Amino acid sequence: MRRHAVLWSMIVLALVMLVPFFIVALNAVKTPDEYSTGGPLDLPSGISLDGIIAFWERVDFGEKLLNSVVISGSVAVLAVVVSVFNAYALGIGRVKGRLWILVVFLIANTLPQEALVYPLYFLANEVGLYDTKLAVIIIFTVIQAAFGTYLLTSTLGGFPRELLEAARIDGANKWQTLVRIVVPISRPTLGVLFVFFFIWTWNEFFLPLVLLISNENQTVPVALGVLQGQRMMDATMTSASALLGVIPAIVFFLIFQRALTRGITAGAVK
C-alpha cells in the first residue's frame, strides 16, 4: 500500500515536470484558429505544421541551427585540446606553482560574465571581431577550458607513472608521450568533457546576446530570446518556436545521457 503511494507520487511528480513539454508540443501543431477557439488545452483536430513552418522561415531557423552547431562544435574541440595541454603541464608535469595556477583557472570559471562583458565587447570592436562567430568561439573556448583544466588536472594527477616512465625509456619525448599515451588512455574523460562543452556552449545566452547582433550570426537561444522579447508572435508560433528550441536539447539528452550522468558525478565529488 505505502509502496504504491510512493511510486504514484513519484509518477505524478515526473508528469508535472513533463507537462510543459506536452503543452508546448500540443499547441505547436495547432492552427491559429483552433487556438483562438479552443484555447491551449483542447486537442488539435489534426497535425498542422503551419506554425512551425512559419516560424522556421521567419527566423531562418536552419541558419541558426548551423550557427549553433559550428560555434558549439568548435568550442568543444578547441576547449578539450586546451584543457589537455594545461592539464598535462599541471597534472603530469607538476610545474612549479601549479596550485596557484589551478586556483586562477577555477576563478576564471566561476567569474560572472557580467564582469567581463563590457571589456570583451570593447576589445572585440577594437580587433574587428565584434559580431563574428570567431569571437564567441575564442571566448567560450577559454571559459570552458578553465573548467576542463580544473577537472582534468585532478584526473591526470592520478595517471599511472609506470606508463610515463616506460614511454620515456622508449625514447618518446613529451609531445609523443602526450599524443600516444596520455590522450588515448584518457579518452573516456575527454569524451565527457566534449559533451559538456558542447551542451554548455549551446545553452549560453548572455555573451552571445551581446556579441552577436546581426541575424545571420545568432545562435538558437539568442534568436529565440530576442524574438520573444519583441512580443510579436502569436500563441501557436510562440509554442512552435519553443518546440524547435526544445527538440535539439532532447536529442542531445538522449544521445549523451550516459556520458552526462557519469560526467556530473565526476564533477561533483572531486
Partner 1 sequence: MSLVPTSIRDRGSYLLFLIPGGLLLLAVILVPLGMNIGISFTEWSGAGEPEWIGLDNYTRLMGDGTFWASFRHNVGLVVAMAVLPTLAGLVIAAALFDFIGKHFGSKHASVLRAAVYLPQVLPIAVAGIVWSWILAPQDGALNEVLRAVGLDSLAQNWLGDPDLALWSVMGVMLWIQVGYPVVIFMAGMQRVDPSLHEAAELDGASWWGRFFHVTVPQIRPEIFVVLLTCTIAALKVFAPIYVLTRGGPGGSTNVPSYYSFQNFFEKTQVGYGAAIATVLTVLILVLTTVFLRVQNRGER
| Minimum distance from residue 53 beta carbon to partner 1 (Å) | 18
| Minimum distance from residue 240 beta carbon to partner 1 (Å) | 11
| Minimum distance from residue 47 beta carbon to partner 1 (Å) | 19
> Is the Cβ of residue 111 or residue 166 nearer to partner 1 in the bound state?
111
Q: Closest Cα partner for 197 from 85, 75, 81?
A: 75
Fill in the DSSP letter of residue 49: -
Residue 194, CA distances (Å) to 53, 89, 102, 183, 263 in order: 32, 20, 20, 13, 10
> Is the Cβ of residue 81 or residue 185 nearer to partner 1 in the bound state?
81
Q: Distance (Å, rounded) from C-alpha 234 to C-alpha 30? A: 12
| Minimum distance from residue 17 beta carbon to partner 1 (Å) | 5
Reading the block at residue 98, the C-alpha cell is 601549479
Angle at 24 between CA 210 and CA 259, to 5 degrees: 70
| Minimum distance from residue 2 beta carbon to partner 1 (Å) | 9
> Is the Cβ of residue 27 or residue 48 nearer to partner 1 in the bound state?
27
Residue 83's identity, in one-letter code, is S
| Minimum distance from residue 31 beta carbon to partner 1 (Å) | 15
Angle at 66 between CA 263 and CA 152, to 5 degrees: 25
> Is the Cβ of residue 36 or residue 45 nearer to partner 1 in the bound state?
36
> Is the Cβ of residue 114 or residue 162 nearer to partner 1 in the bound state?
114
Per the CB < 8 A criterion, the answer to whether 185 and 167 are in contact is no
User: What residues have CB less than 8 Å from 201, skipping those under 6 apart?
Assistant: 71, 72, 75, 76, 140, 144
| Minimum distance from residue 230 beta carbon to partner 1 (Å) | 11
Query: CA 164: distance to chain centroid?
Result: 33
Reading the block at residue 33, the C-alpha cell is 484558429
> Is the Cβ of residue 20 or residue 160 nearer to partner 1 in the bound state?
20
Reading the block at residue 126, the C-alpha cell is 577594437
> Is the Cβ of residue 76 or residue 143 nearer to partner 1 in the bound state?
143
What CA dihedral angle connects 242, 246, 248 and 252, to 10 degrees?
170
